[in-house]
Amino acid sequence: MPALNVKTRWVLGLLAVTALLAKPAYDYHLARQARAAAQARYAADKAEFQRLCRDVAGYKFYRKAENVEGVLLLKVRHTGDWQDLMAPGAAFALEGTDEEYITSFLEYRYPSSGVNDESYFSSTKRKEGAIPGFSYVDVIDEKTGKRYRRTGSEKAVGKKDTSAHEVKRRLAEDPNYDLNVYQWTLDSVIAPDPPPRYAVTFEDHVIPEERARGLASSTVKVIDTQTNEVMAEMLRYAWGARQASSANPYPWLTAYKCPGVGHGASAATRQFVDRVLVPPGATAPPFPPPRHENRR
């Protein structure tokens, strides 16, 4: 093979250098295109969420009932896989599940906490200003179909350590100082007939086209079982990341929600029901705005 002359070697070298320089530039161009496409998708998804908040999501209150001692829960929320884009219940990912969901309807609630969505906290602890919750909740066993009545109360579950300094001090001040350790406990018995007149249920919507955009929705309803009348309904949308990442491994837990609650997210359904079904000795809290976007 004949030796290359100087000019040819120079040209070939220049071409090699150009190719080396061109690849990073091309990679940068592709990265910019990918970022621009991602930003466009984000903007489109955000616009769709805002449209749904404005035109679709929100509350509808038709009728209220007073002096309601107990409610029937036709469904109970369960723990979900909040990494899963298609997880049912994603729109209520921050809500309490299982026993916590049931307990939320029995808890005391406290006056609206000043946020603009009229949300509030609830607790099993009775403190100053407490407003009673429902006296009991009937729950249908998903396996057997039997109806159980759930009630809750503080029960003694142990004794305090009488050798502890603070306990000694209290006993010295008051020989009748209560040494019991109390814990909120849920009780369960076969429910008597008739069942509660008013029921709460929900329907989680798993729509692939919505989920592909990081959107999830769920409808909650309060029903008069004697008339089959829907007394109120809430349609909530949530919008989060399209997929889990190392920076956000559980995107449904950080999703925006509409309508959301600023305080008491673990009892969001209870807060909705409080506006419709009012226990004895309680007053209905102020109505929230029809549509309110919130991280919770």
What is the chain's mean pLDDT, rounded? 88
- pLDDT, mean of residues 124-131: 88
- pLDDT-derived band at 268 (thresholds 50, 70, 90) equals very high
Please state the rounded mean pLDDT for residues 9-32. Answer: 64
- pLDDT reported for residue 19: 65
Report pLDDT for 249. 83
For 34-38, 178-182, 254-258, 277-281, which range has the lowest pLDDT when averaged over its residues? Answer: 34-38
Span 190-206, pLDDT tens digits = 999 999 999 999 999 99
- According to DSSP, residue 274 is labeled H
Coil vs helix vs strand at 61: strand
User: Residues 6 or more apart from 102 whose CB is under 8 A from it?
Assistant: 73, 76, 137, 139, 150, 186
When pLDDT is cut at 50, 70 and 90, the band that residue 262 belongs to is confident
Residue 139 exposure: Cα atoms within 13 Å on the Cβ side: 21
Determine which helix (DSSP H) or strand (DSSP E) holds 42, and give its type and residue range.
helix 6-55
pLDDT at 292 over 80: no
| Mean pLDDT to the nearest integer, 43-53 | 92
Q: Read off the pLDDT band of 96 (50, 70, 90).
A: very high
Q: Are 105 and 71 in contact (CB under 8 A)?
A: yes
Q: Which amino acid appears at position 48 of this protein?
A: E
Domain definitions of the chain by residue range: 9-55, 59-274
Q: How far apart are CA 148 and CA 127, in angstroms?
A: 29
How many percent of the chain have pLDDT more than 90? Answer: 58
CA–CA separation, 140 vs 145, rounded Å?
A: 6
- Residue with structure tokens 């909650």? 220
CA distance linking residue 27 with residue 32, whole number of Å: 9
Strands 198-205 vs 70-73: parallel, antiparallel or unpaired: parallel
pTM (predicted TM-score): 0.82
